[in-house]
């Protein structure tokens, strides 16, 4: 009697859940036993998290129960946290057990990149998970609620420092600057007392993005009172303040760290060779030396050969990798030797700036304001459609009501 | 040329704002210059504050702009804080100025009574003002938001200690116990992990209230998981814990102090003789020895001669005092020598327990559940009607929609 091979997918982020979804669509569960392991019983959309972090969208709009998008009669689901991957023994150690595999898909996501700057993890908030963003939202509201309760009015209560002006940082600043007037109204605070700093070490906000669009974004955000400190590396984060390289310090009770990400430390701790926590995978997305292990999403490093630099880790690429990964898994199981080569197709990049403002680049076309904002919603809805069809779009989708 | 006498009213709580309102209704502004001084440009309903404190009602429902209920073309309004009353010089020192008077009405409200227990002011929350309750609400939400973010799950994050099982304490516990299931749903927390303690030094909850009703209230609250510690004095409040006299300690990040109130310390600091911050006023509500000074509301002590004990300071009594006080002011100005004697008419006492539960005593009639809850709303709406007529009831009133 032939036993079915076991496929284990670690993580139900963009890459993991889409791999599970594609495997079911291609009926791979007939030929393999598929198991999905995830810390939570829900999947969430990392690229939306800046909204619940600022309080402009409820966090439940960014997440969905795994059982609502994946047919759990067709695959196994284990709600547990991964501790270590024993790649030579083909098993995964979980907090409450372990699981064997014949084929493994690693989609364990990312961690904040601190660049070794002291005090970051202890003294700053992250935009990373449903848990972390609802804490940040509550913290921000608590600051506003505190201000009129204090006998001495400390400015740092209403000062918000966002470290990093990449996509997450800019999108969060956009939402926060939209939310501030509401919070001021709610807590009887003069909006002039609120300060939002966007601090970036690189010589520009949104490094690598189209200059004209960056300028547009900065103008929009500055008009809402955001102060940019570009070309300004951070030396240290202390409790209640940020020390800049140039000697200045900014006192703030709310420091949000968005200077980029590195791959999950589980990968490195499990003995894979990594660069900033990411494994430089083969063209078919397998880990070098491990023909039965695929690595996708934020844990995978793919070089853009045109410019000889890694592609930034995005949801778009993770989703595309899931398509290739699931296809290659099915092929492997059915005995094919030639696997598909992964090649990202960048369909467009849009950054929301809060409210109806956004910027975007679709091919060579630059988008501003309303049209970029509409494009952002179309992209978000497209993912929901890929994952759960029309019902999921209707349930969790974003719509403009003009 | 005769100058009009100056009436100054300190505080726009129940007593102060209703005095201003009654003076205008009796056209006293034709014969006197009336000034109302208040810290905020709004009046709020202290007896409703347990609801926004728990997050079951928005704080804006409990407050209204003074200009929306008092015609500021007829009286002066000064938004400032009172520092001291120079009663022999007939003037009041404010934070940003001073104001002279011929007649003074002191309605400066109360402060939490700590009974000298160490650490109360530093380590506990109060249900005292719009500012204090929205801070408490945000703090509670922050606790729930924190829980799943902590690596180690500390029980004290989800433990709530309400010190004092008087009216405010019981009403707050009622609202909080109604809100907890919602917060658990919102933040993915098992409701069993949440603990609410109601700690009372006296041998019963709601001391002095009808025993049968007290038992009903405790049963309702216990059925929602509230744990009572009656006959349990508190020795000290420290950062993150309450030490009880019996040696036990309860770890909690949220300690709410509701063991009663004392009159505003401004009264004592201004040289009036007080008991627990309250002045034992004459029968016409004037301060002993100061024929031009009326003291009303939480700052006034009135003895219930039937039982030879002070009446508890309530909104009901403050409002009734405002009627007597404004009448007496008008009479004084028009040269009458015989002033009205204040006599409270206790029309009923109702405590809400959250949701549709309440207990009440109207005359000898005991009310439970829905009928008590409806009565509570009728009382609240009656006050709004007295203050601002039907429009205010429609705007800020409470209605049952069955």
Which H or E run contains B382?
helix B369-396
CA-nearest residue of chain B to A125? Answer: B149
DSSP string over B225-288: TEEEETT--EEEEETTEEEETTS-EEE-SEEEE-S-EEE-HHHHHTT---BTTBEE--TTSEET
A197: Cα within 13 Å, side-chain hemisphere: 25
* d(C-alpha A263, C-alpha A107), whole Å: 10
From B146's Cα to the closest Cα of chain A, the distance in A is 6
Task: Yes or no: say if B28 and B326 are a contact pair by the CB < 8 Å rule.
Answer: yes
* d(C-alpha A358, C-alpha A49), whole Å: 16
Least Cα distance to A381 among A57, A61, A127 occurs for: A61
A-B contacts (CB, under 8 Å): 35
* d(C-alpha B158, C-alpha A178), whole Å: 32
pLDDT at A365 over 80: yes
From A35's Cα to the closest Cα of chain B, the distance in A is 24
- DSSP letter, residue B47: G
Tell me which residue has tokens 């009446």.
B311
* d(C-alpha B15, C-alpha B9), whole Å: 10
Tokens (6 digits) for A28: 């791979």
Secondary structure (3-state) at A185: helix
**A132 contacts in chain B (CB < 8 Å):** 149
**B146 contacts in chain A (CB < 8 Å):** 135, 138
pLDDT grade for A381, boundaries at 50, 70 and 90: confident
Which entry of B51, B111, B171, B268 is annotated as an active-site residue? B171
Q: How far is residue A130 CA from its own chain's centroid?
A: 11
CA-nearest residue of chain A to B189? Answer: A131
Whether residue B236 lies in the annotated active site: no
pLDDT at A148 over 70: yes
Out of A132, A134, A138, the one facing B138 most closely (by C-beta) is: A138
pLDDT grade for A402, boundaries at 50, 70 and 90: very low
* d(C-alpha B294, C-alpha B328), whole Å: 9
CA angle B278, B282, B284 (to 5 degrees): 120
Least Cα distance to A212 among A365, A378, A375 occurs for: A365
DSSP string over B331-380: HHHTT---PPPP------EEEE-STT-EEEEETTEEEEHHHHHHHHHHHH
pLDDT digits (tens, 9 = 90+) for A215-262: 999 999 999 999 999 999 999 999 999 999 999 999 999 999 999 999
- The CATH H-level superfamily of A120-257 is FAD/NAD(P)-binding domain (3.50.50.60)
Same-fold call for A6-39+80-112+261-346 versus A120-257: yes
Strands of the B241-244 sheet, one edge to the other: B234-238, B241-244, B249-251
**B64 contacts in chain A (CB < 8 Å):** none
pLDDT digits (tens, 9 = 90+) for A290-337: 999 999 999 999 999 888 999 989 999 999 999 999 999 999 999 998
CATH of domain A6-39+80-112+261-346: 3.50.50.100
From A92's Cα to the closest Cα of chain B, the distance in A is 21
* Cβ separation B142–A139 shorter than 8 A: yes
Q: Where are the beta strands (DSSP E) in A95-134?
A: 97-100, 103-106, 110-112, 125-126
Residue from B138, B147, B153, B186 to probe the interface with A (highest A Cβ count within 10 Å): B138
Mean pLDDT per 10-residue section of chain B, whose length is 402 residues:
88 97 95 97 94 94 94 96 97 97 97 94 95 96 91 87 96 97 95 97 93 95 97 96 95 96 96 95 97 97 92 93 97 93 90 92 88 85 86 79 46
**B128 contacts in chain A (CB < 8 Å):** none
* Cβ separation A135–B142 shorter than 8 A: yes
Which H or E run contains B328?
helix B315-333
Tokens (6 digits) for A145: 């609620």
Least Cα distance to B189 among B143, B140, B142, B144 occurs for: B144
- DSSP letter, residue B146: H
**A135 contacts in chain B (CB < 8 Å):** 142, 145-146, 149
* Cβ separation A132–B149 shorter than 8 A: yes
* d(C-alpha A5, C-alpha A335), whole Å: 12
Mean of all residue pLDDT scores within chain A: 93
Report domain extents, chain A: 6-39+80-112+261-346, 120-257
Q: What sign has the CA pseudo-torsion A116, A118, A122, A123? A: negative
Residues in A whose CB is inside 8 Å of some CB of B read 131-132, 134-135, 137-139, 141-142, 145-146, 148-149, 187
DSSP string over A327-352: HHHHHHHTT---PPPP------EEEE
**B139 contacts in chain A (CB < 8 Å):** 142, 145
Least Cα distance to B8 among B82, B146, B100 occurs for: B100
Task: Yes or no: say if B35 and B69 are a contact pair by the CB < 8 Å rule.
Answer: no
* Cβ separation B145–A132 shorter than 8 A: no
Tell me which residue has tokens 């201000």.
A147
* Cβ separation B145–A134 shorter than 8 A: yes
CA-nearest residue of chain B to A186? Answer: B60
Least Cα distance to A220 among A54, A372, A48 occurs for: A372
CA-nearest residue of chain B to A128? Answer: B149
pLDDT digits (tens, 9 = 90+) for B344-385: 998 888 999 998 899 999 888 999 988 888 888 888 888 888
Task: Yes or no: say if A389 and A57 are a contact pair by the CB < 8 Å rule.
Answer: no
Least Cα distance to B101 among B13, B3, B9 occurs for: B9
- Residue A333: partners with Cβ closer than 8 Å, 6 or more residues away: A5, A7, A28, A31, A32, A103
Task: Yes or no: say if B140 and B160 are a contact pair by the CB < 8 Å rule.
Answer: yes
* d(C-alpha B132, C-alpha B325), whole Å: 29
Backbone φ and ψ of A337, nearest 5°: -100, -30
Residue from A81, A134, A146, A254 to probe the interface with B (highest B Cβ count within 10 Å): A134
CA-nearest residue of chain B to A42? Answer: B188
**A134 contacts in chain B (CB < 8 Å):** 145, 187
pLDDT digits (tens, 9 = 90+) for A171-187: 999 999 999 999 999 99
CA-nearest residue of chain A to B58? Answer: A186
Helices (H), ranges, B55-203: 66-69, 120-123, 130-147, 167-186
Burial of residue B173 (number of CB atoms within 10 Å: 0-12, 13-18, 19+): buried
DSSP string over A44-97: E-GGGTHHHHHTSS-GGGGEEEHHHHS-TTTSEEEE--EEEEETTTTEEEETTE
* d(C-alpha A218, C-alpha A170), whole Å: 9
CA distances from A155 to A147, A164, A252, A256 (A): 9, 22, 8, 17
Q: Where are the beta strands (DSSP E) in A264-314?
A: 279-280, 286-287, 290-295, 300-301, 303-304, 309-310
* Cβ separation B138–A145 shorter than 8 A: yes
Q: What sign has the CA pseudo-torsion A173, A175, A180, A181? A: positive
Q: Could you give the ipTM of this predicted complex?
A: 0.76
Residue A393: per-residue pLDDT: 85
From A153's Cα to the closest Cα of chain B, the distance in A is 14
């Amino acid at each position: 009697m032939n036993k079915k091979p076991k496929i284990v997918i670690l993580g139900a982020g963009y890459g993991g859940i889409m791999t599970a979804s594609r495997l079911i669509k291609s009926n791979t569960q007939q030929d393999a036993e598929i198991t999905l392991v995830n810390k939570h019983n829900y999947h969430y959309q990392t690229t939306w998290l800046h909204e619940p972090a600022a309080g402009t969208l409820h966090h439940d709009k960014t997440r969905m129960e795994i059982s609502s998008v994946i047919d759990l009669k067709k695959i196994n689901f284990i709600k547990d946290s991964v501790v270590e991957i024993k790649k030579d023994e083909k098993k995964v150690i979980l907090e409450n057990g372990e699981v064997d595999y014949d084929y493994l898909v690693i989609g364990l996501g990312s961690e904040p990149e601190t660049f070794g700057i002291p005090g970051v993890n202890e003294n700053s908030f992250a935009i990373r998970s449903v848990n972390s963003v609802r804490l940040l939202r509550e913290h921000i509201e608590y600051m506003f609620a505190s201000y009129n309760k204090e006998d001495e009015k400390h400015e740092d209560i209403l000062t918000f420092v966002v470290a990093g002006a990449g996509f997450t940082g800019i999108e969060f600043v956009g939402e926060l600057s939209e939310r501030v007037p509401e919070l001021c109204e709610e807590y009887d605070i003069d909006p002039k007392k609120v300060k939002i700093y966007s601090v970036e070490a690189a010589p520009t906000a949104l490094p690598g993005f189209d200059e004209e669009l960056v300028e547009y974004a900065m103008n929009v955000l500055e008009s809402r009172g955001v102060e940019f400190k570009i070309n300004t590396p951070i030396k240290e984060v202390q409790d209640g303040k940020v020390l800049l390289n140039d000697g200045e310090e900014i006192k703030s009770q709310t420091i949000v760290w968005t200077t980029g990400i590195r791959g999950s430390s589980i990968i490195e701790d499990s003995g894979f060779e990594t660069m900033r926590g990411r494994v430089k995978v083969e063209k078919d997305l397998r880990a070098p030396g491990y023909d039965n292990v695929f690595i996708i999403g934020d844990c995978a490093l793919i070089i853009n050969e045109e410019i000889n630099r890694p592609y930034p880790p995005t949801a778009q690429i993770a989703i595309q990798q899931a398509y290739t990964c699931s296809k290659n898994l099915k092929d492997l199981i059915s005995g094919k030797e030639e696997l598909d080569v992964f090649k990202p197709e960048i369909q467009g990049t849009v950054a929301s700036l809060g409210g109806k403002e956004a910027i975007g680049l679709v091919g060579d076309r630059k988008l501003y304001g309303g049209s970029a904002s509409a494009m952002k919603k179309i992209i978000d809805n497209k993912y929901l459609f890929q994952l759960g069809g029309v019902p999921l779009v209707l349930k969790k989708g974003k719509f403009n009501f003009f």
